[in-house]
A and B are shown apart, each in its own frame.
Chain A
Amino acid sequence: MIIAVSGKGGTGKTLLSSLLIKALSEKNILAIDADPDSNLPEALGVEVIKTVGDVREELKIDTAKGNIPQDVNKWDILDYKIMESVVETPKFDLLVMGRPEGSGCYCAVNNMLRKIIETLSANYDYIVIDTEAGLEHLSRRTTQNVDIMLVVTDKSKRGILTAQRIGELSKELDINFKKMFLVVNRINPDNKDIIIKKVKETGIEIIGTIYEDEEVAEYDIEGSPLVNLSDNSNSVVTVKKIVSRILNSN
């Protein structure tokens, strides 16, 4: 099952992604950080040596310099390097997409990468993708084969608007996610009713609401891995519920 997390930057995509991974971590899971600006590795408390972007540049440079023996094919080299860039932990594996492309043509290498990541992904039962902020991943169709699309929004007008656009655009582009749900983040009991009312206008079914969480705020200030939040913390409990709703909805 492929679960993607999208939404406007700053609404809590990384919080949701890392807690989804925490909730699923006893299973066979691959986390993909597809946001060049994100900090999923930090939220998961792991160090990344190499990203897919680095692999792509390395291959480009080696090819231009003529460093690769002619009859050694680049599929195999990429395959190896992608495996090398997977961060492996006992609970989950993580692949970081990294920096965007430089100038020049990336059609060939991206085509190979797509296939290789597909093969790699087939080895996992669950894949959680922290997508890049905004709508790019939809128009470039990099999230096409996603089963569950989770859209995160906070109480801000712009957050809600982005969520609404994600909903509309996926219909326009005819991208069929099996399910699309909305997660409302960082609200409090006082404004809950007003926010929920506004959020319903997006037309996306709400699957959970995460309240403002002191503990999360503290972790953010300290830069501590969110994955280490205590099991009874409010956010962790809510995301666990979201996960069981997702699994039951299937």
Chain B
Amino acid sequence: MFEDIPVDVSPMYEGERIRAANMFVELAGPKSIGAELVQVKQDVKNGKVNVIGPNLSEMKEGEIYPFGIFIEIMGDKLEKELEGVIERRTHELCNYIKGFMHLNQRDQIWCRVSKEAKDAGFELEHLGKALSILFKEEFPIIEAISITLYTDKKEVEAFIEKTTQKYEERDARARELSDEDVDVFYGCVMCQSFAPTHTCIVTPDRTALCGAINWFDCRAAAKMDPDGPIFEIEKGKVLDEIKGEYANVNAVMADKSQGTVDRVYLHSVFGYPHTSCGCFEAVAFYIPELDGVGIVDRDFKGETPLGIPFSAMAGQCSGGKQVEGFAGLSLEYMRSPKFLQADNGYERIIWLPKAIKDSLIDFIPEDLADKIPTEEDANSIKEIRKFLREKNHPIIERLKETKKTIKEIDPVEDETSKDMETIPEIEVGEVPIAQVAYAPELTIPSTSGGVKIIFKNAKIYAEKLIIKRK
């Protein structure tokens, strides 16, 4: 198949690096410019390879040249959406060619040709020809393929301009990719060494808690390192689309946590929130007095409105625990359209550090942006309540609704609380009441046996705390 090509072509050459000491020329890379692009077209002349600019035999040893790879494909079943998927294979397929190195993708490619390949008579036409064969072999739906290789600086510049626009179009589509559009989610157990019951579920709408890997990274990782910590999960049956509950995800959770956790909601801090590892970038925490959710990130060094800093809160809900009212999350997840959607998303957020608020400002609904307080506006439940009332945060409406419901259910409430504006909570009077203990989960050791008492989100308030020596 590759008889006309003077060098070997085989998957065994993947991972081949060409050292500067062994290099004939460098194409594109950090010291020059370059790009690659795959486009679905009509009227593609199959097998055509065009080199525009100097060919390898016309290049000078040790020099660096601009480089563009333009691949046009045609086929009945080819869709525009597949361009990205096919283009990403360029890296792998180029590396099948012995003596040709290719790194990265889009307009960040970096190629090298070895001295041996040059001496064997390798030319850019051979690269085009090998790629044509390999692409058709990998994707039988490609009926015709033609390849243009640019090495002329002006031509490469013009090509890059064109690619930039195409990448932007593609990015816009990728941003819209949601959980509904895919059949496969990914699980990651990289953190199980210190969080043995934690499996991170990664979907297009939910990046891993550490923020380091998204759905696309997982797809690449599962392929590049099939025995590694990242694996596929068939999406399967949807149990609750809003909360983000999936039968297969629950099954994986149960399997990987040895039965400790058998149910998770991907998009809620209530009920069965996702387990938390320990390396999450931020924590979402329920503030029961205001029925809202606060967020604190790892870089925030002060105390949260719950009276404890990030580190203490992380300690309480990490290690693979599933704690209702708490969920570790990534900052990227806060840019997701499904961000805590079951809990009303940003409408439920009533506190977050200024640094993350600023960085996420484009993703917070415009009408809410100035209604969510940061540490500069409020630092206690009381101050937050005041701020929310002044700014008319939607949570205030929610609290009134809740109160009305309580009134309807329990008419006694009417007698005890005359003031309609009072929000159900422990009102702080003349004597300041300090919160002395807070635990998202507190198990009381039982002496009688047979009974286990668990307080969830228990808060203990005391007017006075006396510690006496016995």
Interface residues of A (CB under 8 A from B): 28, 60, 63-66, 69-77, 79-80, 83-84, 88-91, 93, 103-105, 107-109, 111-112, 115, 119-120, 122-123
Contacts and interface: CB of A to CB of B under 8 A. Distances in A.
B54 to A, nearest CB: 24
Interface string B161-187: 000000100110011010000000000
Contact of A71 (B19, B171, B210, B278): B171
Contact of A79 (B88, B104, B217): B104
Contacts of B190: 107-108, 111
Contacts of B212: 60, 63, 74, 105, 107-109
Nearest to A119: B15
B20 to A, nearest CB: 4
B103 A88 contact: no
A90 B62 CA distance: 12
B149 interface: no
A76 B103 contact: yes
B213 interface: yes
A73 B223 CA distance: 12
B296 to A, nearest CB: 14
B8 interface: no
A71 B170 contact: yes
A77 B104 contact: yes
A64 B331 contact: yes
5 contacts: A72-B105, A89-B20, A90-B21, A108-B212, A120-B17
Contacts of A77: 104, 108
Contacts of B299: 103
Interface in B86-131: 88, 91, 103-106, 108, 110
A111 B228 contact: yes
Given A79-B104, A104-B279, A123-B16, 20 more contacts: A63-B211, A69-B174, A70-B214, A70-B216, A71-B88, A71-B170, A73-B219, A75-B221, A75-B224, A76-B104, A79-B103, A103-B299, A104-B298, A105-B210, A107-B190, A108-B210, A108-B212, A108-B213, A115-B225, A123-B19
A116 B84 CA distance: 23
- Give the contact-size bracket for chain B: 35 or more
Given A70-B175, A107-B190, A65 B359 contact: yes
B174 A70 contact: yes
B347 interface: no
Contacts of B103: 76, 79-80, 83
Interface of B: 15-17, 19-21, 30, 84, 88, 91, 103-106, 108, 110, 167, 170-171, 174-175, 177, 188, 190-191, 208, 210-214, 216-217, 219-221, 224-225, 228-229, 277-281, 298-299, 331-332, 335, 359
Nearest to B85: A71
A107 B167 contact: no
Nearest to B332: A66
Contacts of A80: 103-104, 108, 110
B106 A72 contact: yes
A72 to B, nearest CB: 6
A88 B19 contact: yes
Given A63-B212, A71-B171, A105-B279, A93 B19 contact: yes
Contacts of A65: 359
Contact of A103 (B16, B110, B298): B298
The residue among A64, A89, A120 with the most chain B CB atoms within 10 A of its own CB is A64
Contacts of B216: 70-73
Contacts of B19: 28, 88, 93, 123
Contacts of B277: 105
Nearest to A103: B298
Contacts of A73: 88, 216-217, 219-220
B332 A63 contact: yes
B72 to A, nearest CB: 21
Nearest to A78: B104
Nearest to A90: B21
The residue among A72, A88, A90 with the most chain B CB atoms within 10 A of its own CB is A72
Contacts of A104: 210, 279, 281, 298
